[in-house]
Amino acid sequence: MVNGSNFKSWKDNLFIVLGVMDLNLALRSNSPPPLTDESTSDEKRDMERWEKSNRMCMMIMKRAIPEPFRGTLSDQITTAKEFLANIEKRFVKNEKAEIALQLELSEDLLVHLVLISLPAQFNQFKVTYNCQKETWSLNELISHCVQEEERLKQDRT
């Protein structure tokens, strides 16, 4: 399962698994041109192979990210290549910010900083977190915040 601290190794493992399974075509190449009435059998076969690869890549990647995080990804993303790029943008941005600071912050401290910076409408959420024995990783906190935000939006309507 991918999280903020293991993205690079997760991506490497993903490429190895998809390569061994011969499902990485959708990550290596763009979609073939749309089929027409005059498309050859080779073009049809290539399209079938690419579509299968794309479907399988998307399923495997979606399964390998936390469920609440999946809800933050756009439904407009239809290719495995775009999906991976979208995930990568989110994780690389976090890594760059940490590197630029040249300061090691523990994940527990980051979780605490995020919690104290949440707006007042998240007060019940903060109380609930503080009452539980379990601590969350930063990505788990973000996922739960997204869920709480959705719940708050539904309560307003």
Whether residue 99 is contained in a domain is answered as: no
Range(s) of the domain holding residue 49: 6-93
* Shared-domain flag, residues 64 and 86: yes
* 89 and 24 within one domain: yes
Asked whether the predicted pLDDT for residue 99 surpasses 80, the reply is no
The pTM of this model reads 0.59
Confidence tier at 82 by pLDDT (50, 70, 90): very high
pLDDT tens digits, 24-46: 999 999 999 999 999 999 999 99
Total structural domains within the chain: 2
Domain end (from 47, 62, 93): 93
Cα–Cα distance for residue pair 110/30, rounded to 1 Å: 38
Q: Does 75 lie in the same domain as 28?
A: yes
Q: Of 46, 64, 93, which residue is a domain's last?
A: 93
